[in-house]
Chain A
């Protein structure tokens, strides 16, 4: 029984890099989709900004913050991360429907690298989308006294949220193995998550139960952390615990997505 002598395949990071590059290249080759990915958050920012502007005039609305545009920018950043990451698992299903998934699973690529590949790709997309949203908000007259630190924290929060949601989407893809089911469930989860947060509405003015739910909503954690960081005098006591919770949840979700491969392979 001779020991395997083949070249040692690269590690997890290397493999994740290859898979991220593959996904990025595919995006680049679909210019219409790439454009939509960047234009959609702009439309949301301007649309929600106009649609909900009157709520900023409600008595007691987020007095500490400036204009509604400034209020909603972190909300649209989180929404964008949420909605695009909800689709992350569709790539797995395309690979399953072809033999690509089988081929990768029978190769030395670790399951962790397959998850990391989709997460890194999503994170990259989220960074670009976040920069577009913040840039457009600035062009439209919003001002963020939090400066570079504030934008940095916003990027971090958006990326962590995107990892949480993309991991969930990956795990659902592996369990459901069907595009329609994945998209259906994903929409079912994503929309309430957005509205049960302070993304577009100051939850202090919402019913008590909404405030209670928002406290446990990762979308709200991302929104609050970045909104605080973008102010002149951030309440770091509110921001850091939420970022820490997001980071912890991201790790747990990514581990769960990796575990979901076992269930998937059992059914093969």
Chain B
């Protein structure tokens, strides 16, 4: 484990297969997944539904056991000492995880007491968290009366109420409106910094991973296809895609003309479609048109596309996100 001595979270070659429903073959949810997160960092698992992100969280948070592979959280072996791991982790599951028939405060106090906190410490911690998440006004109302955004903030507070060393956030903002998402991002960002948490975040939002994570691992069919810092991944995805339609016979000429144009990269042709990447696609369009006109290539259409999760997938998985999902 020398390479991972500073890692708060390591998983190596995790495999997990679920028995298929009657008549269907077994589903291999994890197929050799390996990840590593340094202490105090945020690692995002990015991928479509069914990629295995949540299964990875379930294995690492001791909810279920893998068929093979190994994992350690906060230096403790997940398979050999699950109960020791449970004292070091907080889990924010995909579904709302507060008791609707209890108030926000009661939920937090119970969660802290379960972890061995005294009544007084639990109450103080609950009050502090309610305050920090701006939930004070609703604190003593039953959670079943809370809005989705408020309940989700409480879920995160429940995940960290006992000051764990590692926090699992399984799709924390799915289903929230943009405003609530932005607010939750801000809270999580501040808390992870203040509490020096190591966070494993799963998401299918590129912007969420970008905003929150120190490192991103793109997960597809139960394994990590590419990993790196958001900067590294974005560098590859940097800029927009400019797509030009030309008569099929002239695409070779268009390729030559655009290949010589400064500011464009990754120029490629596929039948009548010529693609290129540009830092700012809209500003590149006049130059593209001028260059093609100078080369005598008639242009049938020009479109500019912002990079999307589809592009990440197209690049690393060889098919689009939608096809994968």
Residues of A participating in the B interface, judged by any CB pair closer than 8 Å = 1-2, 4, 6-10, 15, 18, 22, 25-26, 29-30, 97-100, 102-109, 265-268
Do B155 and A99 touch (CB < 8 A)? Answer: yes
The yes or no answer to B99 lying at the interface (CB within 8 A) is yes
Beta-carbon nearest neighbor of B61 in chain A:
A106
Give 15 A-B contacts (CB < 8 Å), ordered by A residue.
Answer: A1-B75, A6-B87, A6-B162, A18-B110, A22-B102, A26-B101, A98-B95, A99-B95, A102-B61, A103-B111, A103-B158, A106-B86, A108-B114, A267-B64, A268-B58
Question: Is the pair B116, A102 in contact by a Cβ cutoff of 8 Å?
Answer: no
For the complex, is B74 an interface residue (Cβ under 8 Å from A)? yes
Q: Which residue of A lies closest to B101 (CB)?
A: A26
Q: Which of A15, A100, A265 neighbours the largest number of chain B CB atoms within 10 Å of its CB?
A: A100
Give chain A residues whose Cβ lies under 8 Å from the Cβ of B94.
Answer: 99
| Residues of chain A with a CB closer than 8 A to B106's CB | 25
Please determine whether A98 and B110 come into contact, CB atoms closer than 8 angstroms: no
Q: How large is the interface on B (under 10, 10 to 19, 20 to 34, 35 or more residues)?
A: 35 or more
The 5 A-B residue pairs whose C-beta atoms are closest, nearest first, are A99-B97, A99-B93, A9-B116, A26-B101, A7-B116
Q: Are B116 and A103 in contact (CB under 8 A)?
A: no
Measured in the bound complex, the distance between the Cα atoms of B5 and A2 in whole Å is 11
A-side contacts of B1, CB under 8 Å: 1
Inter-chain contact A106/B89, CB cutoff 8 Å: yes
Q: Is B49 in the interface zone, CB < 8 Å from A?
A: no
Pick the contact of B83 from A1, A7, A98, A108 — CB < 8 Å? A108
Secondary structure dominating the interface of B: loop
Given known contacts A7-B115, A268-B58, is B63 in contact with A105 (CB within 8 Å)?
Answer: yes
- Interface membership of B76, Cβ < 8 A: yes
Contacts of A25 in B (CB 8 A): 101-102, 106
Chain A residues lying within 8 Å of B18, measured Cβ to Cβ, are 267
Residue B196, interface by CB 8 Å: no
Write out the residue numbers on chain A whose beta carbons fall within 8 Å of the beta carbon of B268: none
**Shortest CB–CB separation between residue B173 and chain A, in angstroms?**
15
Docked pose: A18 CA to B87 CA in angstroms: 17
> A-side binding surface: helix, strand, loop or mixed?
loop
Smallest CB separation, B175 vs chain A (Å): 13
Is B115 a contact of A106 with CB atoms below 8 Å?
no
Interchain CB contact under 8 A, B95 and A106:
no
Is there an interface contact between A266 and B76, defined as CB atoms closer than 8 Å?
no
Query: In whole Å, how far is A251's beta carbon from the nearest beta carbon of chain B?
Result: 23
CB distance from A258 to the nearest CB of B (A): 15
Assess whether A18 is in contact with B114, with CB atoms less than 8 Å apart: yes
> Which residues of chain B come closer than 8 Å to A105, judged between CB atoms?
62-63
Cα–Cα, bound, A107→B162 (Å)? 10
CA–CA, A112 to B212, complex, Å?
Answer: 38
Q: Bound state CA distance, A108 and B168, in angstroms?
A: 16
Nearest CB of chain A from residue B271's CB, rounded to whole Å: 47
Chain A residues with CB under 8 Å of B102's CB are: 22, 25-26
* Distance (whole angstroms) from the CB of B49 to the closest CB of chain A: 17
**Which chain B residue lies CB-closest to A9?**
B116
| Most interface-central of A6, A8, A22, A29 (chain B CB within 10 A) | A6
> Which B residues are CB-close (under 8 A) to A98?
95-98, 100
Nearest CB on B from A260, distance (A): 15
A217 nearest CB across to chain B (Å) = 34
**Of listed B84, B86, B111, residue having the most chain A CB within 10 A:** B86
Residues of A within 8 A of B83 (CB): 108
Using a CB-CB cutoff of 8 Å, which residues 93-130 of chain B contact chain A? Answer: 93-102, 106, 110-111, 113-117
CA distance A97 to B95 in the complex (A): 8
Closest to A104 in B: B114
B110 and A103 contact, CB distance less than 8 A: no
Nearest CB of chain A from residue B152's CB, rounded to whole Å: 11
Chain A residues within 8 Å of B155, by CB: 99
B74 to chain A, nearest CB (A): 7
Chain B residue numbers with a CB within 8 Å of A104 are: 114
B75 cross-chain contacts in A, Cβ below 8 A:
1-2
B127 smallest CB distance to A (angstroms): 18
**Cβ–Cβ < 8 Å partners of B84 in chain A:** 4
CB closest chain-A residue, reference B94: A99
Flag if A6 contacts B64 (CB, 8 Å).
no
Q: Which A residues are in CB contact (< 8 Å) with B93? A: 99, 102-103
With A106-B62, A265-B64 known as contacts, the answer to whether A99 contacts B99 (CB < 8 A) is no
Asked if B37 is at the interface (CB within 8 A of a chain A CB), the reply is no
List the A residue with the shortest CB-CB distance to B164: A6
Contact, CB under 8 Å: A10 / B116: yes
Q: Which of A4, A10, A29, A266 has the most CB of B within 10 A?
A: A4
**A102 in contact with B115 (CB, 8 Å):** no
In the complex, what residues of A have CB within 8 A of residue B237's CB? none
Minimum C-beta distance from A91 to chain B (A): 10
**Measured CA separation A244–B318 after assembly (Å):** 66
- Interchain CB contact under 8 A, B101 and A6: no
